[in-house]
């Protein structure tokens, strides 16, 4: 283990250095506080043995510099003190030293203090490595908790976070934004006829198709089942409808499960809504989302492969009213079509 | 001779290793010879802060090799000069004389240790 020894007296420096070398430490030396600091900031040296009274910069300044530094590792500091200088000891420990050894030097005292230093430094190092692993794992979990594993799109949690953010942003800046709810037509039949594996593949391919059409600033989520939601910032209702049309065309034209027999043709239904055009100023994002969802069902009832703008003002949608359940402050719950 | 250097302490400090002891003594004698010149110069020019600093260093170095009497003399000078009582300082106060005694005592110690084959 590496140790830096700082003392302005060459005899002490020599004595401490050679004693520590004999105890198996790798020793660097410095003859004043500033020289010691320059060595510490350029290399990871976990243990420092320092005199208090040194020219240029003293040991107290060195202690304070070490404690104020944003090193990634802990630096264990042992003071070398004269028996008579007790008041300096309190000052030194307060400035950040961990331990002290009295002069004249007793090699056994130095040896035992360094055993403690080594133990603390090793524990700290192990803790730091564990912490690093934990942070990496947590970051991975954080990503996993927001991504739908099948399609790579954001999941329901991510959708809620993103729409809250986008909505707050729209309220602050006065910009509009849009939501597209997309549901594959007769998807249940794909699952029933060709099995869930092919159904899953169709879903993944549909999301990939949508992703290839939307802009980078737009965000895509798998809300549940075969329902995909798109959030489009800085767009009005007609802009949003054009995006939905392009996606509708793209899905209709694509061959799904292209490498399998038979490959499939799929269409999708879209409900589009924009804040504030669809729901009015000051409404909750859940209201906007509910309207988009409702419009999607209208498009679906019409036979699919098309879109509807929210709010839908057509012929009596009363039969659908009970389908959407809102709870105050929480996202709407959808039931399957 | 034995009063000038605490031989047991010197052996302990150098882990009872004759070679280590030889190197430490050599380092000490070279350094202290220089420091003594500085000390005498500081005293001659009545530079008491410098006298105090140099005496402090000499005390630390002396105590490391077990030169307890020399360390005591230096400590004494350090404190008296720090109080800036210029008139009270009786110059080097026997420090050089003690250093001569320490020098030969240390050299004897090293020779002794080497002959014992430590």
Interface of B with A in 43-82 (CB under 8 A): 56-57, 60-61, 63-66, 71, 75
Indicate if the pLDDT at residue A291 is higher than 90. yes
**Residue A22 confidence (pLDDT):** 92
Of A14, A82, A107, the CB nearest to B12: A107
Which residues in chain A have their CB less than 8 angstroms from residue B60's CB?
9, 11-12, 82, 103
Interface contact flag, B66 A104, Cβ < 8 Å = yes
**Residue A337 confidence (pLDDT):** 33
Indicate if the pLDDT at residue A68 is higher than 60. yes
Phi-psi label, residue A189: left if phi above 0, alpha if psi -120 to 50, beta otherwise? alpha
Interface contact flag, A18 B24, Cβ < 8 Å = yes
Indicate if the pLDDT at residue A325 is higher than 70. no
**Residue A332 confidence (pLDDT):** 37
Q: In chain A, count H helices and then E strands.
A: 11, 10
Residue ranges and CATH numbers for the domains of chain A are 2-141 (3.40.50.2300), 156-321 (3.30.70.270)
Overall fold of domain B7-115: 1.20.120
- pLDDT per residue over A173-187, tens digit each? 999 999 999 999 999
Distances in Å between the Cα of A327 and the Cα atoms of A222, A297, A333 are 21, 20, 8
Backbone phi and psi for residue B62, each to the nearest 5 degrees, phi listed first = -65, -40
DSSP letter, residue B17 = -
Indicate if the pLDDT at residue A158 is higher than 80. yes
**Residue A334 confidence (pLDDT):** 34
Inter-residue contact A306 to A269 (CB < 8 Å): yes
**Residue B92 confidence (pLDDT):** 65
Mutate to test the interface with B, among A104, A108, A111 (most CBs of B within 10 A): A104
Question: At B2, is the pLDDT very low, low, confident or very high (cuts 50, 70, 90)?
Answer: very low
CB of A319 within 8 Å of a chain B CB? The answer is: no
**E strand residue ranges, chain A:** 2-6, 26-30, 47-51, 76-82, 99-103, 177-184, 219-224, 227-233, 268-275, 306-309
DSSP states of A59-89: HHHHHHHHHHS--SS--EEEEEEETT-HHHH
CB of A106 within 8 Å of a chain B CB? The answer is: yes
**Residue A312 confidence (pLDDT):** 82
Q: Give the containing element (helix H, strand E) for A201.
A: helix A196-213
CB of B27 within 8 Å of a chain A CB? The answer is: yes
Average pLDDT over residues A224-244: 94
Backbone phi and psi for residue A312, each to the nearest 5 degrees, phi listed first = -75, 125
Domain ranges in chain B? 7-115
Size of interface A-B (CB pairs under 8 A): 54
Helix ranges (DSSP H) in B1-118:
7-13, 18-44, 48-64, 68-82, 95-115
Cα B118 from Cα A171, distance rounded (Å): 85
- pLDDT per residue over A72-130, tens digit each? 899 999 999 876 667 778 888 889 999 999 888 889 999 999 999 999 999 999 999 99
Average pLDDT over residues A42-47: 92
Interface contact flag, B24 A11, Cβ < 8 Å = yes
Q: What angle do CA A203, A208, A209 make, to 5 degrees?
A: 95
Inter-residue contact B59 to B89 (CB < 8 Å): no
* Residues contacting residue A215 through CB under 8 Å, at least 6 positions apart: A232
CA distance B47 to chain A (A): 17
Question: At A327, is the pLDDT very low, low, confident or very high (cuts 50, 70, 90)?
Answer: very low
- pLDDT per residue over B45-66, tens digit each? 888 888 888 998 899 899 989 9
Question: At A241, is the pLDDT very low, low, confident or very high (cuts 50, 70, 90)?
Answer: very high
**Residue B22 confidence (pLDDT):** 93
Query: What percent of chain B lies above the pLDDT cut of 90?
Result: 32
* Residues contacting residue B105 through CB under 8 Å, at least 6 positions apart: B1, B2, B4, B5, B67
User: What are the structure tokens assigned to A67, written together?
Assistant: 């404690």
Of A15, A103, A104, the CB nearest to B24: A15
Question: At A21, is the pLDDT very low, low, confident or very high (cuts 50, 70, 90)?
Answer: very high
**Residue A161 confidence (pLDDT):** 94
Identify the residue with better confidence: B116 or A148.
A148
- pLDDT per residue over B83-106, tens digit each? 765 545 565 668 888 898 999 999
Least confident of A143-147, A323-327, B3-7: A323-327
> ipTM of the assembly?
0.85
CB of A22 within 8 Å of a chain B CB? The answer is: yes
Which residues in chain A have their CB less than 8 angstroms from residue B61's CB?
9-12
Please provide the average confidence, as pLDDT, over all residues in chain A.
89
**Residue A336 confidence (pLDDT):** 35
User: What are the structure tokens assigned to A92, written together?
Assistant: 């030194």
**Residue B91 confidence (pLDDT):** 57
Which residues in chain B have their CB less than 8 angstroms from residue A19's CB?
15
CB of B103 within 8 Å of a chain A CB? The answer is: no
Query: What percent of chain A lies above the pLDDT cut of 70?
Result: 92
Identify the residue with better confidence: A131 or B3.
A131
CB of A330 within 8 Å of a chain B CB? The answer is: no
Closest CA to A97 of A131, A58, A70: A58
Inter-residue contact A271 to A181 (CB < 8 Å): yes
């Amino acid at each position: 283990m590496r140790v830096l020894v700082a003392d302005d007296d060459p005899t002490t420096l020599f004595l401490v250095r050679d004693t520590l070398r004999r105890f198996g430490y790798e020793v660097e030396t410095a003859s004043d506080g500033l020289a010691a600091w320059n060595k510490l900031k350029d290399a990871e040296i976990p243990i420092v043995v320092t005199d208090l009274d040194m020219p240029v910069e003293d040991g107290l300044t060195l202690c304070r510099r070490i404690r104020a530094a944003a090193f990634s590792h802990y630096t264990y500091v042992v003071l070398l003190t004269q028996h008579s200088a007790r008041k300096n000891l309190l000052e030194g420990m307060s400035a950040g030293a961990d331990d002290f050894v009295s002069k004249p030097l007793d090699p056994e005292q130095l040896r035992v203090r360094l055993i403690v230093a080594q133990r603390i430094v090793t524990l700290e190092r192990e803790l730091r490595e564990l912490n690093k692993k934990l942070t990496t794992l947590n970051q991975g979990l954080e990503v996993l908790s927001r991504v739908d594993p099948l399609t790579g799109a954001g999941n329901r949690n991510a959708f809620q976070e993103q729409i809250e953010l986008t909505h707050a942003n729209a309220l602050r800046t006065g910009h509009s934004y849009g939501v597209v709810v997309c549901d594959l037509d007769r998807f249940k039949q794909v699952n029933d006829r060709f099995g869930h594996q092919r159904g899953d593949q169709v879903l993944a391919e549909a999301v990939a198709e949508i992703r290839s059409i939307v802009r980078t600033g737009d965000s895509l989520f798998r809300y549940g089942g075969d329902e995909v939601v798109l959030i489009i910032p800085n767009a009005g209702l007609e802009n949003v409808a054009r995006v939905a049309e392009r996606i509708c065309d793209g899905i209709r034209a694509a061959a799904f499960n292209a490498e399998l027999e038979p490959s499939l043709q799929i269409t999708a239904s879209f409900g589009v809504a924009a804040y504030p055009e669809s729901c009015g100023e000051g409404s909750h994002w859940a209201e906007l989302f509910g309207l988009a969802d409702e419009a999607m069902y209208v498009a679906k009832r019409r036979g699919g492969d098309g879109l509807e703008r929210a709010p839908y003002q057509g012929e009596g949608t009363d039969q659908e009213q009970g389908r959407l359940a809102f709870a105050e402050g929480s996202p709407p719950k959808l039931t399957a079509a | 001779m034995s009063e000038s250097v605490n031989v047991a302490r010197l052996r302990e400090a150098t882990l009872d290793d004759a070679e280590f002891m030889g190197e430490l003594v050599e380092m000490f004698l070279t350094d202290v010879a220089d420091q003594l010149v500085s000390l005498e110069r500081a005293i001659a020019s009545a530079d008491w802060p410098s006298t105090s600093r140099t005496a402090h260093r000499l005390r630390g170095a002396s105590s490391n090799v077990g030169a307890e009497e020399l360390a005591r003399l230096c400590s004494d000078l350090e404190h008296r000069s720090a109080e800036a009582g210029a008139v009270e300082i009786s110059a080097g106060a026997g420090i050089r004389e003690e250093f001569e005694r320490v020098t030969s005592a240390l050299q004897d110690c090293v020779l002794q240790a080497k002959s014992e084959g430590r």
